[in-house]
Chains A and B, each alone.
Chain A
Amino acid sequence: MSATTYAGVEVRLNDEGFFEDPTVWTPEMAVEMARADGITELTDQHWTVLDFMRKEFFEKGTGPTVRVLGKASGVSVKDLYQLFPKGPAKMAARLAGIPKPKGCI
């Protein structure tokens, strides 16, 4: 576990860089994290995905997989990889301030 500062607020992160507490997240933090990941501007499509990630997490207790994102978020899997080149489910979950989506078993 470590702590860092996003948008002027101290945030606790787990070993893999995911938020310990999703409720402290703000959109400004996502903008700052995205910039550090090489995404200079979060487009409407990025926000569609991030909003969907948070909605799913708070409803279901885990973030969606890439497949569910592709089916239900309104953004195709191909576009998801363009938007979040480091792997959509993981990268979008991190930017959305939610835990890493659980892998299927």
Chain B
Amino acid sequence: MTKRIVILGGGTGGTLTANRLHRHFRHHRSEHQPVEIVVVDQDNHHVYQPGLLFVPFGLAHQQEIVRPRHEQLHHDIEFVEAGIDRVDLQRDTVVLETGRELAYDVLVVATGTTLALDETEGLTGPGWNEKVFTFYDLAGATALEAALADFQGGRLVVNVVDMPIKCPVAPLEFCFLADWYFTERGIRDQVHITYATPLDGAFTKPVASAALGSLLEEKGIHMVTEFNTGEVSMDDVGGAGKLIGYDGREVPFELAVVVPLHNGAAYIGRSEGLGDDLNFVPTDQRTLQAKAKSNVFALGDATNVPTSKAGSVTHFEGEVLVDNIVRYLDHEPLDDSYDGHANCFIETGFGKALLIDFNYETEPLPGHFPAAVGMPLLKESRMNHLGKLMFQWVYWHALLQGRDIPGIGADMPRRGKNQPQTTEKETTR
């Protein structure tokens, strides 16, 4: 009898999982029962999300970073374009908004995050998409491009409302690129850039937090820490506004770039037993099996595993996840080897970038990647910037297709990293 694997979400995680599974079952046809793979998404626009950062600065455009989802999937994989109403864990069935029901043998949740704009008072009120923007979706990033081009000087605030967010380094990259952008335009001395964060430093882990904090300082970017945004408010006259913290502190601005609160997808909240209070899926951090039921797996931004919400994480998770779906169907014990590996380029402006590489146990450290000779870690370089630019090609042609990328494996390499003298202390708030 044919087994059906239903994958919810046709983004990075859903696409690479579908293609990897397809390849596995095609190559091992004789060893398994036939398998049918179905991918569900509410639309057919696959956005290369790392590209969103570049759109406001005119360095990337919509047509370069959006492609049809179904074209990224092997033609034997069924793509269903429909909203999801709920998952019925009891009946192993996904109910679509159209009323269609999809029964599954294995379910993969890969629906990422949803921006919760309405959970911050005043965020989408007066000034929204005029003085207050986000670059975390395509419409916002595109609208911000025009606003930045018109900006002649004043106070620019970049604000993270609260964690967790996708790509925790992106707001810092935005600050660095804004510094470069206004320098190029010759008005940097007329722009006051502030980074307001709920964390007690520039990043969540101490060594990287210190390095990135120094970089902000060098570039004349002011940092406001432990700032929990309660409200975004526009003044009645003059076109200025302010962020008001729950503790009463205020950060005034002429232009605000806000990274809103993130939740898991809304249907997860309608699916009894599947998600947590924020609609993320409680997931085993080593096997990627959901806590809800043994035939449910999750990867990428949709899970609650304690590592960054980032494409590299999703890519590394995909290897273990696909292996475990095969093991599950074969009634074999699951592989518990996912180590939380994340690998992120951090664009720092002026044609340079940093690279960080870390996992559940090891914080981002200086050194080289993937070994003693390689790309410099936690240090600005031209090579890292070129790596970041080249990555878009790798994304569409290798990563989404579920191919291994030479030299970049799922397990974090230890060689090449300089171990710190002191013990690691988690940055918290």
Contacts and interface: CB of A to CB of B under 8 A. Distances in A.
Interface in A64-78: 65-68, 71-72, 77-78
Contacts of A104: 163-164, 168, 204, 306
Query: Which 4 pairs from chain A and chain B are nearest by CB?
Result: A104-B163, A103-B428, A81-B246, A104-B164
A80 B163 CA distance: 17
Given A77-B230, A103-B163, A105-B308, A67 B427 contact: no
A78 B230 contact: yes
A54 interface: no
Contacts of B278: 67-68, 71
Q: How many A residues are at the interface, by size bracket?
A: 20 to 34
A59 to B, nearest CB: 11
Interface string A39-75: 0000000000000000000000000011110011000
B162 A67 contact: yes
Contacts of B199: 103
B307 A102 contact: no
Given A66-B162, A66-B228, A67-B162, A102 B428 contact: yes
Interface of B: 162-164, 168, 199, 204-205, 226, 228, 230, 246-247, 261, 276-278, 306-308, 426-429
A78 B246 contact: yes
A27 interface: no
Contacts of B261: 67
Contacts of A105: 164, 168, 204-205, 306-308
B253 to A, nearest CB: 22
Contacts of B168: 104-105
Contact of A90 (B306, B308, B429): B429
Q: Is the interface of A mostly helix, strand, loop or mixed?
A: helix
B247 A81 contact: yes
Interface of A: 65-68, 71-72, 77-78, 80-81, 85, 87, 89-90, 100-105
A90 B162 CA distance: 15
Nearest to B427: A103
A67 B306 CA distance: 16
Contacts of B162: 65-67
Contacts of A65: 162-163
A78 to B, nearest CB: 7
B244 to A, nearest CB: 11
A87 B429 contact: yes
Given A81-B247, A102-B306, 16 more contacts: A67-B162, A72-B277, A77-B228, A78-B230, A78-B246, A87-B429, A89-B429, A101-B428, A103-B427, A103-B428, A104-B163, A104-B164, A104-B168, A105-B205, A105-B307, A105-B308
B277 A77 contact: no
A9 B281 CA distance: 40
A72 B428 CA distance: 21
Given A81-B247, A105-B204, A105-B307, A71 B277 contact: yes
A81 B249 CA distance: 12
A100 B308 contact: no
A100 B425 CA distance: 12
